[in-house]
Amino acid sequence: MGLTSETTVYVMAALAAVCVGLLVWSWPRFARQGLRQVLGRLLAIGTTQVVMIAAFACWLNSSYQFFGSWGELFGRVETAPVGVTQAGDDGGTGTVNGAAVKGSPVQPAGDEQLSRVSGLPTGPAAVNGRVESVKVIGRRTGVVDPAFVYLPPQYFQKAYQRQRFPVIVALSGYPGSIFNLAQHLRVSQTAGALQKSGLMQPTVMVMIRPTIAPPRDTECVNVPGGPQTETFLARDLPDALKSAYRVGHDASAWGVMGYSSGASCALQLTMRDPHVYTTAAALSPDYRVKDDPTTGSLFGGGPDRTERMNGHDLMWRLEHLPVPQVSVLVAESKHGERGYARTQAFIKAVKAPMRVASILPEQGSHNFPTWVQEMPPALKWMNQQLTFPQDVVPRHHRKGAAVTEHTPTATTRR
């Protein structure tokens, strides 16, 4: 039984009901005086509560996909196969005539999560677009991370067959999943509707999680001696996407957005890696990365610890380091969220050539209904910042590079 399957939820619910029934039935036996009876009562109550909490946790995880498998829950994550090479290099391969080939950094993935998402494109891809379920393999980091990729209708149309497209990478919060981005934040559905109505240029949307070493929350930090999250998101991910899809090669065509800790990550990536991402939209972000029980030690020890911590403090960066030429949008509710004062301070601290915009609703909470409301204006704003790539895919390639023209064969929702 999979961790997120309905069968697991039903089994746990039934087990909880059985425990409650056994507790009620056996309680008269434990009502007597004596050490054994007292210990029996404590054991019966404790066992019933644990099973009930576990059943509720399974239901919650199945609904929001915090952890996708038992392995993730217990910290066992998939690692990249030995010898993976970037598609497009001599000897490397990607997808040819619709067949996935060993060596591509973007591989097809199962559709267990994608099949549960409502409102995805159906019908001909050239009319409605398509969402693919893939896994991205980090050539430098060895990370294997699942992703959903939305390709707009124009991607499949003859008039655009040599055209590259801008990219927006959408990041989930912790311990969220790509299912949350697709089902609850409605990333591809919102982008598709905006593009269809002409309010947003055709854009490839990539939904991915920054939690590359679950259950640990690594934020967007290269942990000394540990997970290299920033390298994966700022180097491995863009390289993999460029090798597999017709997307822009210049940073002006790349943006990143997220909610909660994913929003913090979006700001971090844009301000720390402006040569990769030039635009960010952050829904309810923090402006400083710090250690907590879910992260462990993100910055290690030694004399460089303070420097590493300061490097991930965006207010410190604005005061002490050259300001990058990027555009960022921050969203925070005036009432109902705790970060409004910090957001105002960040807005005031931004200086040229960096630009900042904001969405500041009167009411809202740190939840999906608030972020869904903020998504359309955030995407329209990002659309105005990103450039539609002028570069086109050459008609002729050297051997081994042609794989960049093809869409990875992946599990798709049509």
pLDDT in tens, 144-179: 999 999 999 999 999 999 999 999 999 999 988 999
Q: What pLDDT score does 127 carry?
A: 95
φ/ψ of residue 367, rounded to 5: -155, 175
Query: SS3 of 383, please?
Result: helix
Give the span between the Cα atoms of 330 and 327, in whole angstroms.
Answer: 10
CB 315 within 8 A of CB 287: yes
Q: pLDDT tens for residues 82-139?
A: 333 223 333 333 332 233 445 789 999 987 688 889 999 999 999 999 999 999 999 9
How far are the Cα atoms of 309, 359, 371 from residue 376, in angstroms, in the given order?
33, 11, 10
User: Helical H runs in 31-140?
Assistant: 35-64, 70-73, 125-128
Cα-to-chain-centroid distance, residue 9: 25
Q: Where are the domains of the chain?
A: 6-64, 83-413
| Superfamily (CATH) of domain 83-413 | Alpha/Beta hydrolase fold, catalytic domain (3.40.50.1820)
Tell me the residue type at 114: L
Q: pLDDT tens for residues 262-304?
A: 999 999 999 999 999 999 999 999 999 999 999 999 999 989 9
Burial 144-174 (b: 16+ CB within 10 A, else e): bbbbbbbbbbbbbeeebeebbbbbbbbbbbb
